[in-house]
């Protein structure tokens, strides 16, 4: 069986017959080579990714990730309604309780329907259009998502 003496990138947890070179795993099994491409780094798009147990590692930016886990965008707003349902732009919601409109004598009644225009970061995190109330900012804890 032939051994490979030159290693560009190598991981200590692989068997003596397995070598990682430039993002490609090469396995020497009695003169046969199997090749499998690894994905590029999601942060710097480098192709020099190598595997260490279940993790993939980029030597250029030192980013480590598990390819089997879901990718979560850390910048995305996660806003939930009063019932714990995830809200998105375009969702239709209803008011979960009567709300007084600040600076007005108007009261928005429970069950009033609204359409979410956008989600924002802040105390009043929903910018929506209310039926009969116009455009308004609401707190997500006072709305329920319609099925």
Phi-psi map region of 54: left, alpha, beta (phi>0 left; psi -120 to 50 alpha): alpha
The predicted model scores a pTM of 0.51
Share of the chain above pLDDT 70, in %: 72
**Protein fold of 1-71:** N-terminal domain of TfIIb (2.20.25)
pLDDT digits (tens, 9 = 90+) for 30-73: 444 444 688 898 889 898 999 998 899 999 999 998 888 876 66
Which of these, 88, 78, 129, 107, lies nearest to 137 by C-alpha position?
129
Residue extents of the structural domains in the chain: 1-71, 92-145
Question: And the tokens for 137?
Answer: 């900012």
Question: And the tokens for 102?
Answer: 């600040």
Domain 92-145 grouped into CATH 3.40.50.970: no
Q: What share of the chain is helix, strand, coil (3-state, %, to 5)?
A: 0, 35, 60
Q: Which whole number is the average pLDDT over 120-125?
A: 90
């Amino acid at each position: 069986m032939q051994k490979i003496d030159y290693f560009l990138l190598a991981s200590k947890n692989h068997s003596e017959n397995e070598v990682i070179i430039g993002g490609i795993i090469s396995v020497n099994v009695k003169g046969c080579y199997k090749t499998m491409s690894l994905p590029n780094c999601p942060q710097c798009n480098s192709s020099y990714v190598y595997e260490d147990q279940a993790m993939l590692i980029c030597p250029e930016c030192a980013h480590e990730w598990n390819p089997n886990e879901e990718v979560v965008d850390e910048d995305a707003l996660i806003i939930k309604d009063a019932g714990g349902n995830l809200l998105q732009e375009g969702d239709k919601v209803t008011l979960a309780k009567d709300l007084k409109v600040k600076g007005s004598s108007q009261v928005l009644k429970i069950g009033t329907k609204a359409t979410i225009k956008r989600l924002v970061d802040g105390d009043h995190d929903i910018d929506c259009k209310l039926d009969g109330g116009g455009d308004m900012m609401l707190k997500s804890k006072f709305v329920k998502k319609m099925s």
